[in-house]
């Protein structure tokens, strides 16, 4: 794409200057952001530098940040100054979702949700992850190319359903059927403004509302069953942990909030991880040396190189390329720039991960850059600060177990196929052809 932005100011002359602005008509900026996001943002960085302003429908006047140190400043800003981006995913998940909360309420909810996402709880889920991987891969064809993205989506959905709700059952079969079409539609609609009039039950909004009614009904039945379970206190699933947990004042979460939060975890917790795994196969097919090292290490029982590979994967093929905040303070000073009240601040995670000072030769896929080193602060696939992804450790263990299980049971064939392009699914970037590979079972 040619560079279509026009320069306003190149660099701040004195502290407190507004960032340079992309001076294209608002609808054009919207089309570029929606349809050519990565190229648009990179081209704007080249022209304006790492902090620039855009004006788009939905988020309104926004400042895009691509510099690692400034991104960190945004993530670590006081929650009195910057609150969650407005509007946000609570439009999809409901007002009881953690995405809807800020300040004290957000802190209290994060504390309440923390136990299921800590070390030992996550270790308890490893068996479920391995079982689901074996179940899904049992029917993988040998010697014929197929896309891995959908299988990965099924694995991560089944894992999150089982870890969230505990056991298998008819309600879970129902959710297993209804979540994928809902997730597809909800992702597409995530950044579209809802019309102020009733669009009818067959419109996308009508279908989302109907899904929501059915989801709540199913969850309320599961809550009723769980509350009648004499072993509720011993259960390790997230629903049970939520029902047993209490805020500092001793009050429990309301059932509607539990339902909103469960939908949040199902929605936020499976496509993201599946998309990253789809990219893992897309990359490994094209990097025989990395694959050989992974197989060798796996056979010897190690995982250091696998960890480094997952870190590099999430840098080089970032699936969630933006995290947002809203300026609540009268203004927010970022480096030398001054961002006014009411602006959106967008951290362009994909651009931060392409910063050549933090990650030399950033386009190269090279897991060795992370072997034996601490992950740099410029690595932010899970966002940062008080809103950093609550499922980061969960996703990491899940990707680790899925990869190690597949490497143990299959040989992945490598070739010099051209890289798959990136495809934006509304929230996550996925490999356009679905991360296609050819496998053979190991003898
Ligand atoms: C590779 C997989 C994943 C990626 C790349 C990812 C990425 C992200 C990002 C970028 C954010 C925004 C952070 C910010 O605003 O600073 C986020 C938030 C969140 N993620 Fe994830 N995520 C992943 C997996 C998961 C999983 C497995 C779960 C749950 C089981 C989950 C639940 C959430 C929740 C609840 C939030 C909102 C946190 C808050 O607002 O306090 N994510 N994630």
| pLDDT in 10s for each residue of the chain, 443 residues | 333 333 343 445 566 899 999 999 998 998 898 888 889 999 999 999 999 999 998 889 999 999 999 999 999 999 999 999 999 999 899 999 999 999 999 999 999 888 888 888 888 889 999 999 999 999 999 999 999 999 999 999 999 999 888 867 788 888 999 999 998 888 888 777 777 788 888 888 999 999 999 999 999 999 999 999 999 998 888 899 889 988 888 999 999 999 999 999 999 989 999 999 999 999 999 999 999 999 999 999 999 999 999 999 999 999 999 999 999 999 999 999 999 999 999 999 999 999 999 999 999 999 999 999 999 999 999 999 999 999 999 999 999 999 999 999 999 999 999 999 999 887 899 999 999 999 999 97
- Ligand 1 binding pocket (C-beta < 6 A) is 98-99, 110, 160, 264-265, 268-269, 272-273, 276, 319-320, 323, 381-384, 387-391, 394-395
Distance 429 CA to ligand 1 centre (A): 14
d(C-alpha 40, C-alpha 19), whole Å: 17
Which ligand 1 atom is nearest residue 394's CA?
Answer: 27
Which ligand 1 atom is nearest residue 97's CA?
Answer: 35
In what helix (H) or strand (E) does residue 278 lie, and over which residues does it extend?
Answer: helix 255-285
Distance 390 CA to ligand 1 centre (A): 6
Among protein residues, the one with the nearest Cα to ligand 1's atom 39 is 387
d(C-alpha 326, C-alpha 320), whole Å: 18
Which ligand 1 atom is nearest residue 384's CA?
Answer: 16
Among protein residues, the one with the nearest Cα to ligand 1's atom 9 is 382
What is the model's pLDDT at position 6? 38
Supply the angle between the helices 304-316 and 255-285 in degrees, to the nearest 10: 100
Judged by DSSP in three states, 408 sits in helix
Distance 3 CA to ligand 1 centre (A): 32
In what helix (H) or strand (E) does residue 285 lie, and over which residues does it extend?
Answer: helix 255-285
d(C-alpha 218, C-alpha 220), whole Å: 6
What is the pTM (predicted TM-score) of this model?
A: 0.93
What is the model's pLDDT at position 4? 36
Distance 299 CA to ligand 1 centre (A): 31
Distance 389 CA to ligand 1 centre (A): 3
Which pairs from 130-133 meet CB under 8 Å and 24+ separation?
A: 130/401, 130/405, 132/158, 132/159, 132/162, 133/401, 133/402, 133/405, 133/406
Q: Candidates 74, 238, 316, 389: which one to mutate for ligand 1, based on the most atoms within 8 Å of Cβ?
A: 389
Q: Candidates 162, 268, 321: which one to mutate for ligand 1, based on the most atoms within 8 Å of Cβ?
A: 268
The token duo for 385 is 């600060």
What is the model's pLDDT at position 14? 62
Distance 382 CA to ligand 1 centre (A): 6
Distance 272 CA to ligand 1 centre (A): 8
The token duo for 220 is 């309320």
What is the model's pLDDT at position 3? 38
Residue in this structure with the two tokens 């008509």, named with its chain if needed: 25
d(C-alpha 435, C-alpha 160), whole Å: 22
Q: Candidates 105, 164, 391, 401: which one to mutate for ligand 1, based on the most atoms within 8 Å of Cβ?
A: 391
Among protein residues, the one with the nearest Cα to ligand 1's atom 2 is 273
What is the model's pLDDT at position 7? 36
Among protein residues, the one with the nearest Cα to ligand 1's atom 14 is 383
Supply the angle between the helices 392-409 and 288-299 in degrees, to the nearest 10: 90
Which ligand 1 atom is nearest residue 319's CA?
Answer: 5
């Amino acid at each position: 794409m040619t560079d279509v932005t026009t320069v306003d100011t190149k660099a701040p002359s004195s502290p407190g200057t507004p960032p340079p602005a992309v001076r294209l008509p608002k609808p054009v900026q919207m089309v570029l952001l929606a349809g050519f996001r990565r190229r648009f943002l990179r081209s704007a960085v080249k022209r304006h530098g790492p902090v620039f302003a855009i004006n788009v429908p939905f988020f309104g006047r926004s400042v895009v940040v691509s510099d690692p140190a400034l991104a960190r400043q945004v993530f670590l800003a006081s929650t009195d100054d910057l609150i969650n981006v407005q509007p946000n995913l609570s439009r999809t998940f409901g007002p009881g979702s953690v995405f809807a909360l800020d300040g004290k309420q957000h802190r209290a909810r994060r504390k309440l949700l923390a136990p299921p996402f800590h070390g030992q709880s996550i270790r308890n889920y490893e068996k479920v992850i391995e079982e689901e991987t074996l179940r899904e891969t049992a029917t993988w064809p040998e010697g014929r190319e197929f896309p891995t993205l959908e299988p990965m989506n099924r694995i991560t959905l089944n894992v999150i359903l089982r870890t969230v709700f505990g056991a298998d059952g008819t309600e879970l079969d129902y959710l297993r059927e209804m979540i994928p079409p809902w997730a597809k539609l909800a992702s597409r609609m995530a950044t579209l403004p809802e019309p102020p009039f009733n669009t009818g039950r067959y419109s996308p909004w009508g279908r989302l509302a109907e899904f929501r009614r059915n989801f709540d009904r199913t969850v309320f039945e599961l809550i009723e069953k769980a509350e009648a379970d004499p072993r509720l206190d011993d259960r390790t699933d997230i629903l049970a942990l939520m029902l047993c947990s209490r805020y500092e004042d001793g009050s429990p979460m309301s059932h509607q909030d539990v339902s909103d939060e469960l939908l949040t975890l199902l929605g936020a917790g499976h496509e993201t991880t599946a998309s990253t795994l789809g990219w893992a196969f897309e990359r490994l097919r094209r990097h025989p040396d990395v694959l050989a090292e992974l197989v060798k290490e796996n056979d010897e029982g190690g995982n250091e190189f696998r960890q480094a590979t997952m870190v590099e994967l999430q840098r080089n093929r970032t699936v969630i390329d933006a995290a947002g905040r809203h300026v609540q303070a009268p203004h927010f000073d970022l480096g030398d720039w001054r961002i006014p009240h009411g602006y959106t601040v967008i951290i362009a995670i994909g651009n931060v991960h392409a910063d050549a000072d933090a990650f030399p030769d950033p386009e190269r896929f090279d897991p060795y850059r992370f072997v034996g080193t601490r992950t740099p602060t410029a690595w932010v696939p899970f966002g940062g600060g008080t809103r950093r992804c609550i499922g980061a450790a969960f996703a990491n263990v899940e990707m680790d177990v899925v990869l190690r299980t597949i490497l143990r049971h299959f040989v992945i064939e490598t070739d010099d196929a051209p890289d798959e392009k990136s495809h934006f699914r509304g929230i996550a970037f996925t490999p356009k052809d679905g991360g296609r590979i050819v496998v053979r079972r190991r003898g």
